Amino acid sequence: MSRILKRTLRRWLYIGHRWLGIVTCLFFAMWFMSGVVMMYVAFPGLADKERLAALPDIQWEKVKLSPDDAMRVAGATRYPRDLRLAMLADEPVYRMIGWDGQRQAISAADGRVVTGVSEREALAVAQHHPASKSPQLEDIVDRDQWSVTARYDPLRPLYLIGLGDNAGTKLYVSSRSGEIVLDTNHTERVWNWLGSIPHWIYPTVLRKDGPLWRLVVLWISGICLIVGVTGIWIGILRVRLKRRYASGGISPYRSWMAWHHVTGLIAGAFVLTWMFSGWLSLNPGEFFAGRNTTRETLQRYAGHDAPTIATKLPTPQSAAVEARFVWLDGGPMMIAASRDCTQRALDITSGRIATLPQDRLWTAAAKLLPQARLAERLVLDDYDSHWYAHHHQRELPVLRAVFDDDARTWFHISPVTGEIIGRADGSRRTYRWLFNALHSFDFRLLLMYRPAWDLVVWLLSILGTIVSVSGVAVGWRYLRH
């Protein structure tokens, strides 16, 4: 009976892998080939460097309202999560985001609440973009392929403006606040149809419903993961390294099936870890902790919660395109950003550059977790396995505050602006190894010698593609018969 049961289970193992593999190998092939494209072309977004480059210098002489006045007009009852001053075309505007996610824009010239911008104002905003040649309004979109995610919901609908440059740059300007929220160019739009969109299963009709999209991708990747496990199992059962088959080979198969078997044995572990890490990227069961820092933690670091910071603004000694207003350990500061993305902390009363002694930063950091002790104070002058650059640069040097709480929490702090620019606990660091390391191969040694990273990922992607395409060919043969 045990032999009969064993033969039956093995038979169903083969049948299940064969028929599920006919469909899933198409996904495998798509993921491997699109992943190579994603190595070099990211999904369209708006980096701070791009956003700041498109802003005009603040015209301080037009600023009539103080930050306190703006918060009073907005009806703020506590200090907002974000408060900044920038130009809306030729008008200075305070923009603030509350802790509930609500966004407000207040004119710094006359105190009116900005509830919408016209097409003419949106075109004036686009005119300041460095790539702008002959900006024209192309459409007013509520949601399209590039603005599909929920992060843009508070800013919709969006003016779609073509800049008329050779790169085919298009800007998305919020009709509510006048902010540039996204830019794309022709190269990004074309290559993403071969990269991120198929890789993430990202068509607008599905992705616009976040929970449904997440469920669909979890099920598809979960089933593919099972197919990968059964494939490795079958591959091991059928291989003969010592007592070879009559043909002298280690595999009983020929043609496409032999390619599928042998390359599956060679690259099976990498295929499986890629599938597993990709499945984990959706954080099934909310097993891993989130990235966000709570309001209470940030308020302790700021040392201030009332909607006040300055009743009068100084004029900085050098040009700035954006000014942010923050508190640090009970002291107010203005962080000015220039068009080249350089940031500097300024004294809120004089407008002069303020130096931030590390002792002050460590004192503020010690208050982040009142129930834990600041166990280590590290200054990172170089990247390591948890603070590193991959596709995007990260600030160096940076301070790392290490706490002895149960979650073993780390905070990364900018020594220039005093901002908390990263948080990681034990759960997030585990996620870093199970997802980032296994899926993107962002190991420090490979990233230090970038061509090595490219070669390794290319080689493994080619092997994975061979496994997948051969599986599609075998599946097609079975369907034909």
Residue 201 in tokens: 């299963």
The structural domain count of the chain equals 2
| Count of CB atoms situated within 10 Å of the CB of 206 | 14
What's the rounded Cα separation, in Å, for the pair 344 and 316? 11
For residues 281 and 225, state if they share a domain. Answer: yes
Q: Tokens standing for 14?
A: 């083969």
Q: How far apart are CA 88 and CA 261, in angstroms?
A: 61
Question: Is 225 in the same domain as 177?
Answer: no
| 216 and 160 both lie in a single domain | no
- Report the C-alpha gap between 303 and 420 in whole angstroms: 14
Residue 267 belongs to a domain: yes
Residue 454 counted as domain residue: yes
Q: How many CB atoms lie within 10 A of CB 71?
A: 25
State the residue range of the domain holding 255: 16-40+205-288+450-480
Residue 265 belongs to some domain of the structure: yes
- Taking the CA atoms of residue 173, residue 179, residue 180 and residue 181 in that order, the dihedral angle to the nearest 10 degrees is -90
Residue 133 sits in a domain whose CATH number is 3.10.450
Which position has the token pair 């105190």? 111
Distance CA 204, CA 113 (A): 33
Indicate whether 263 and 219 sit together in one domain: yes
List Cβ neighbours of 120 (8 Å cut-off, separation of 6 or more). Answer: none
**Distance between CA atoms of 162 and 168, rounded to whole angstroms?**
7
Domain finish residue from 159, 188, 217: 188
pLDDT by residue for the chain (481 residues), tens only, comes to: 778 888 888 888 888 888 888 889 999 999 999 999 999 999 999 999 999 999 999 999 999 999 999 999 999 999 999 999 999 989 999 999 999 989 999 999 999 999 999 999 999 999 999 999 999 999 999 999 999 999 999 999 999 999 999 999 999 999 999 999 999 999 999 999 999 999 999 999 999 999 999 999 999 999 999 999 998 998 888 888 888 887 778 888 888 888 888 898 888 888 999 999 999 998 888 888 777 888 999 999 999 999 999 888 887 777 899 999 999 999 999 999 999 989 999 888 887 888 888 999 999 999 999 999 999 999 999 999 999 988 788 899 999 999 999 999 999 999 999 999 999 999 999 999 999 899 999 888 888 888 899 999 999 999 999 999 998 888 888 888 7
| Residue 165 and residue 229 in one domain | no
SS3 call for 66: coil
Question: 450-480 and 2-38 are packed helices; what angle lies between their axes, rounded to 10 degrees?
Answer: 130
